[in-house]
Structure 1
């Protein structure tokens, strides 16, 4: 249970003796205001007049930086090295390293969190733009190259990699359009902004990838003209080739096709490495990084199976096409599922909930209790709901100003799209927003 000067034996925040997992979403945090020690009292006064906190930064009240003495629980590098030498010490070292990171995150001010995130984004802005446009130009070129390789070699494995390269172009174009659209939406028509538009775009694109109305002439003459999955048709054609094969023990080897796909593999490797360090600064680059990573496996496996079908056994080529097509379908199915989770309101990770609970608890001395802390996805970022409890006699102007300032501070945190702060004077009521 949380109190504003004391934290009882609870696993919700890191303490000197125990790890504190994620806070409960809707549980009262009991407080004994009289239990605060002298060192834990507020250091600034609100002032004698009722001047609005929003208009006077000098009227803010703050608790000490580390009122619960979490810093005492930090492990030094020497202690971590000692732990590593023990039996099963690596797990202990990882545990305490994670605890160190959590404590440092809790003790860092909201301004520092926001400032560091802004600095990283500003520093990476040009690099992000280069990553997006380089990926688009590369995918346009590689699409032509890989389709040439597939048609020239009459290889089902290379054809499966070529299909993936065609959809890479669509993915890049969609990401560019969605990013531009999200920043230019009419706020009167879309009051919550365009943060969720990218998630919707990813879902739509995933369905287009899986289900496509197309007419495709395949390398062995099969024509599909119906609502079907491109990769499923590749699987069907590969199975048909396995069943009806009447040629020799191996296929003809076409070196230019292999070299073409190998060059595509090299380009994808360079793009993968370039996007690796930028993926945390942009959701666009994160998607591109995942795409390049998947293409590395797809192209490498396609080269191996196509070459194996030419040099070892003919059936390796259609078998490789089946495996690649199944892998693409599974990967996109997982992507669609993950994106639906974000739109459906999946809970934020435990570390985010811990950070929010701690920041709310230590925000102001007049916050007596925390009734509820919730954070959940609304697209790639989070919506946050906080219910705080203040004394019944707290003036309305003061309760409003504290709640408003807390809301503004929470919304300043990285990845927080919107915050809602509700103020109450007791915790005995039924949970809010629960339909019975």
Structure 2
């Protein structure tokens, strides 16, 4: 897939996330107030945090789209990973706030939520699961860690909405049947939501930091690169092949040996063909090819 098409699809997904999360956050917030549900209000805050997350992904994608420049010769590919880290930090902060709000609710007079909270939570579960599946598949297709991270935000919203639904349902039953202790199910669900959010923030933050740091690909991971290089008859030998992950892209440094009796221009032509070939391979973003003379009696 061409880079332009990749960014177009990724940006569209980010915009879908922004619009969807804004709509859900507003609906949940209003229903949480009208329906007197701490769990639903906590879930609304969770959806609001997803808006910031989708914005961070969109900004990161825009930055990563920029071409290489003097200060960033290998491009801005890490911008997506940095955006993913920002999303994880936002999730962590929101998780703490949700937990604090739920704990405070235990020390306040409780009354059962209204049935509207149940309807909104069911709607939220269906919408968020659909958004997760769409973004997760797209993230895998485009090999975008930021989109995958954002997809799991939607999945965390599904789990938090399920927890909130259980809490709200139990609290409604407690109110109808005069079972006072069941009224605490609503803030308990809010506290459970905060734990889910914090765990998701930890897992996604750890993965995003790993992706943001350059990692050298091992020999077995570069075998497809070696095969592509050696498919050219004019390449007598590969002296060195180093590949590293830069964000979700791969940067290749290559030293190849060619006939020592050809002209410099011919050697340059071979190197250019090898580079063009490697750039057609998945994830390969930048290739540096060094031409060495081939001497069978030497190992380097």
Q: How does 1:109-258 map to 2 (within 5 A)?
A: 117-118=1-2, 131-184=13-66, 187-210=69-92, 229-239=93-103, 241=105, 244=107, 251-258=111-118
Residues 149 and 261, structure 1, Cα contact 8 Å, conserved in 2: no
Q: Is the 8 A contact 2:81 2:212 kept in 1?
A: yes
Match of 1:329 among 190, 193, 198: 198
The residue number in structure 2 matching 1:375 is 243
Q: How far apart, CA to CA, are the structure 1 residues paired with 2:204 and 2:85?
A: 8
Aligned to 2:179: none
How far residue 138 of structure 1 moved from its aligned partner, in angstroms, is 1.8
Question: Structure 1, residues 165-200: CA drift from partner, whole Å, max 9, x if none?
Answer: 111111222333333344356834543333222222
For 1:323 and 1:389, the matched residues in 2 are separated by 61
> 1:256: Cα distance to partner?
1.0
Indicate the SS of the match to 1:370.
strand
| Residue 289 (structure 2) pairs with residue 421 (structure 1) | yes
SS of the counterpart of 2:126?
helix
Q: What is the alpha-carbon distance in structure 2 between the residues aligned to residue 276 and residue 415 of structure 1?
A: 18
8 Å CA contact 1:143–1:166 kept in 2: the answer is yes
Question: Counterpart of 1:367 in 2: which secondary structure?
Answer: coil
SS at match of 1:320: helix
**Alignment partner, residue 302 of structure 1:** 164
Where relative contact order (Cα < 8 A, 6+ residues apart) is larger, the structure is 1
Pair 190,370 (structure 1): closer, same or farther in 2 beyond 3 Å: closer
Asked if the contact 1:185/1:193 (under 8 Å) is kept, the reply is yes
Structure 2 residue ranges without an equivalent (≥5): 175-181
Change (3 A) 1:231 1:279: closer
* Residues 233-257 of structure 1, C-alpha deviations (whole Å, 9 max, x = no match): 4324434555x5776xxx5131112
Please report the TM-score for the alignment, with normalisation by the length of structure 1.
Answer: 0.57
Of 322-331 and 345-354, the range deviating more from structure 2: 345-354
| 8 A Cα contact 2:103 2:187, kept in partner | yes
**CA separation of 1:128/1:327 partners in 2, compared to 1, >3 Å: closer, same or farther?**
same
User: Aligned partners of 1:378 and 1:290: how far apart in 2?
Assistant: 22
1:221 counterpart residue number: none
Q: Number of paired residues?
A: 288
Q: Output the CA distance in 2 between the equivalents of 1:126 and 1:184.
A: 13
The residue that corresponds to 1:261 in the other structure is: 121
Partners in 2 of 1:350 and 1:315 — Cα distance?
Answer: 57
Instruction: Work out the CA distance in 2 between the residues paired with 1:128 and 1:185.
Output: 17
Structure 2 CA distance for partners of 1:309 and 1:422, relative to 1, 3 Å: farther
Find the aligned partners of 1:156 and 1:350 in 2 and give their Cα distance.
53
Q: Distance between the aligned counterparts of 1:349 and 1:309, measured in 2? A: 55
Structure 1 residue 355 corresponds to structure 2 residue 237: no
Judging by fraction of residues, say which structure has more helix: 2
